[in-house]
Amino acid sequence: MLKYKDFLIHLNEAVDDSNKDLSGIIDKLFKSKYKGKIGKHKKDIKHLRYNIGSNVEYVESQIINTIKPLVDQNSYSLTIIDPGANQSLSGTFFTFMIQLLYDTEINNTNFIAGSKVYFVNNKSTKGILTGKELSPSSLKMKMDFDYDKMTLIKDVKKKIEKYSNNPGLFEALNKLIDLAANVKPTNWFTSPELIDNFEESIEIPKDVLSVLNTLDKSDINTIGKDFGEILGALFIMNVSKYEKGIKFPKGNQALVDFLFDGYGISSKYKKGAAATLTAVAKQINTKLNNLSDTEKQLNKFLNYLVSRKYNVSDSYLQIAKDLNSPGIIKLGEILDKKYTNITKNDINDRINLAKDNNEDVLELFKDVFSLIGRSPSKINWNKIRKGREYGIIMSPLSYHVVDLLNGDIGNDKYLDALNSIIKKVEVKQLYLDFIFNVSKGVMKFNLKTFKADDSKFKFNATNISAYNPDNGNLGFKMK
């Protein structure tokens, strides 16, 4: 197994060569003599594949400690991805994704926001649960069914009987059900429509704590993310003294994990992931009216996300045109075409012509990159799929569109419009977190209503890169 100190040494050595991009850093790491190799997923994503340890929490801590000398902890996010889940690079092992949140300089080399490094822990964890195993649909709960509190408790306890051959897990799930359903909260509301922002920290009893401490971090994460939807539903009924109307929607209903007397609840574990704006676009078109001029313009942008005419990069390209981005205007000059008529094929054709003539592509578009303040640090042409050369332009342009919409460049009228529109959408976000050690702990619920005066939102570009320019629609996050 790779020793942590050697792992740290080689990661530091890997970035000494300032001409290497993040992929180069990964390549150099794997040229070491230690037990590990370059993994290559079917999506052609290279990643670090090491036998770091059999405990997810330990692996997470080693990765954080490893990159601590290189990148400020506030400059990146670390996401733990369950085996076989979306973005996972393994059906068996956990994937750890580091993503830069801002343009970051590492050893005199600039890396753009959104750049990623993937780690796959090439060793089975001690956990026994797989991703989504405890979600309402995987447990075969009744979908689109109105649960009252007692019926929900009875049904979910029956569904988890299959874990009775694992006493620790079985006991933990049962005790968490009782804790969420029966604790006396400090916050309570007489009806669902009166529920407002609140935070509730529930002390975990010692008998429950002793059981949780026997579980692997991977199992705790699965309980929090998936079983948290059921725990959250029980707690919401408890906190409002309301026992009717919990419903788990059949299929994937954007923004909503369960319905509470008709109100949509989005369940999140810890900070949660960015939500897509496609759901907001649909709600605006079917439920909202009396929009301001800016809100109508934003709604026009959002409709690109749900239109069959546009895919992900098409929608960003069209929004850039509508915003009269200086970058898109300059791109039109380079392509010798009116910027409002630019297509991805035009971008592909010019890039391929430049390659045929041995032109430097980054130099060709340097004025575009300069105007938008974003650019790919280096291009690995072996990773560019034929027909997707446009990713070299569309990746930085997509993040630039987000900068414009967030008011990081220009004014913040669209950010104001987003916040105004989101607060008109009947959805609340319920965050769950487990914070505990051997001696004490809490189960923490934090509800944020989209309508709350102090709720703030910002636009978010979801996992787009030069190699995957159509990876995710424009999204938003609650600050």
Q: What is the pLDDT of residue 89?
A: 77
Residue 126 lies in a domain: no
Residues 166 and 37 in one domain: no
Residues 155 and 217 in one domain: yes
Domain boundary among 221, 243, 269: 269
Q: Give the count of domains, the chain.
A: 3
Residues 116 and 139 in one domain: no
Spatial CB neighbours of 309, under 8 Å, sequence gap ≥ 6? none
Residues 245 and 383 in one domain: no
Q: What is the pLDDT of residue 243?
A: 63
Instruction: Tell me which residue of 397, 453, 425 sits closest to 295, measured CA to CA.
Output: 425
Spatial CB neighbours of 71, under 8 Å, sequence gap ≥ 6? 100, 104, 106
Residue 436 lies in a domain: no
Q: What is the pLDDT of residue 448?
A: 77
Count of all residues that appear for the chain in the document: 479
Q: What is the pLDDT along the chain (479 residues), one digit of tens a residue?
A: 445 445 444 444 443 333 245 655 555 544 443 355 555 554 556 677 766 666 676 677 777 777 777 778 888 888 887 666 667 777 667 788 888 888 877 667 777 777 777 877 766 556 678 778 898 989 999 988 889 889 999 999 999 999 887 777 888 899 999 999 888 888 777 776 677 778 888 888 888 887 787 777 778 888 888 898 999 889 888 887 766 678 887 765 556 777 776 667 777 787 655 555 665 666 665 555 677 888 888 888 888 877 778 888 899 999 999 999 989 999 999 999 999 999 999 999 999 999 999 999 999 999 999 999 988 877 888 888 889 999 999 999 999 998 999 888 777 888 888 878 777 666 677 878 888 777 788 888 888 776 655 557 778 776 788 888 887 777 666 66
Instruction: Tell me which residue of 283, 344, 326 sits closest to 476, measured CA to CA.
Output: 283
Q: What is the pLDDT of residue 364?
A: 94
Distances (CA, A) of 130 to 21, 208, 434: 33, 22, 19
Residues 114 and 164 in one domain: no
Distance CA(450)–CA(262), nearest Å, equals 15
Residue 327 lies in a domain: yes
Q: What range defines the domain where residue 192 resides?
A: 133-269
Residues 332 and 292 in one domain: yes
Residues 208 and 264 in one domain: yes
Residue 42 lies in a domain: yes
Residue 451 lies in a domain: no
Degrees to nearest 5, angle at CA 57 with 30 and 166? 120
Distance CA(163)–CA(86), nearest Å, equals 25
Residue 469 lies in a domain: yes
Residue 447 lies in a domain: no
Q: Euclidean distance between the first and final Cα of the chain, in Å? A: 40
Distance CA(150)–CA(267), nearest Å, equals 21
Residues 289 and 321 in one domain: yes
Domain boundary among 121, 146, 181: 121
Tokens representing residue 363 in the block = 């130099």
The edge-to-edge listing of strands for the beta sheet with 116-121 is 36-40, 46-50, 116-121, 95-100, 76-81
Domain boundary among 88, 121, 154: 121
In three-state secondary structure terms, 208 is helix
Residues 397 and 334 in one domain: yes
Distance CA(291)–CA(323), nearest Å, equals 19
Residue 432 lies in a domain: no
Residues 176 and 108 in one domain: no
Residues 164 and 229 in one domain: yes
Kind of pairing between the strands at 457-460 and 76-81: unpaired
Residues 402 and 327 in one domain: yes
Tokens representing residue 434 in the block = 């487990």
Say which amino acid occupies 385: R
